[in-house]
Structure 1
Amino acid sequence: MYVETDLPSGNLIEIPQGFALTSEVPSGDSNIIFSYYINYDSSKFEFPLHFPHGTDTFKIIVPEGSGKISGERLSFDKKVDISEKTFDEYIGNNYAKGEYLNMEMTNIPTSFVNKLSSSLNFQVINLVVIILMVNVIIIFFILRYFKNNSKKNATH
């Protein structure tokens, strides 16, 4: 997890659920930028984001093609270009103190290993492996037979 803010220092601590503010948020506008790296094993992810102090505006950006985001009062806003990469920006407004944004991310690309394992029929793979092993054994014994025959013919 990475967190950056314009709040006075010492206000953020990391907790198992993410991060928490340890002191009051001063009145006025404040910005908190955070990023999570999350391991996932399906094309769907649910994230209950809590706003203990509420917020007027919440924005989230995800790399283009990384999935779709939905949640209470959260909608797609625009495409954003940052450092030659395109991101989808979602925006939510007017979250009261203590409210949750039950965010759901869908259509997340799965890893190559997950795609491969879900698309393969392992019974077929087992059959192919068995056939290959039997062929290797047969070839081994054929080569051994011809090698022994050539030695016998050379000694006669």
Structure 2
Amino acid sequence: MTIPFLQANEWGLKPEQALALKVTWSKLCETPHSTCRGINAIMDQKNKAVREIFYSAAFFNGISEHRKSYSIATLHDHSHFFISLISQVIHSFDFRSVDILEHIDKIGVCHAGLKKFGFRQAVWEQLGEELIDALVVQVCIKSLRTQKPEDLKT
């Protein structure tokens, strides 16, 4: 007998928490929500610090000689990459693998140079909190849509 959500268990998530994340994320990212609306707004509109750091780094990289041809060009591209990363993490819940952790470590290493632009641990934590807020809002809206108007009256 296999234990479901192997990676999630190692990360300290209860099976019901992992299931809730999987279901919520899949609902958010299904058509017509394929852009996982709310998530894009975090990086582009809500979190001005991330936007400023991104554009400062993009400007610096654009004029430096060490510009990489595979860099993510726009904040919109970056937010799509971020959404893809979240999907990969959630899909990894069912497997015991170090691949996703190595992938996250590589991303962390790539972002280490952004410290000089103000990208610190507090920014990561703020992004995480805003991501959870966006997920909760979407879940609340979806649950309201499924209720009858008479059920909402107090």
When normalised by structure 1's length, the TM-score is: 0.22
Q: Larger RCO: Structure 1 or Structure 2 (Cα < 8 Å, ≥ 6 residues apart)?
A: 2
When normalised by structure 2's length, the TM-score is: 0.23
Q: Quick check: which has more Rg, 1 or 2?
A: 1
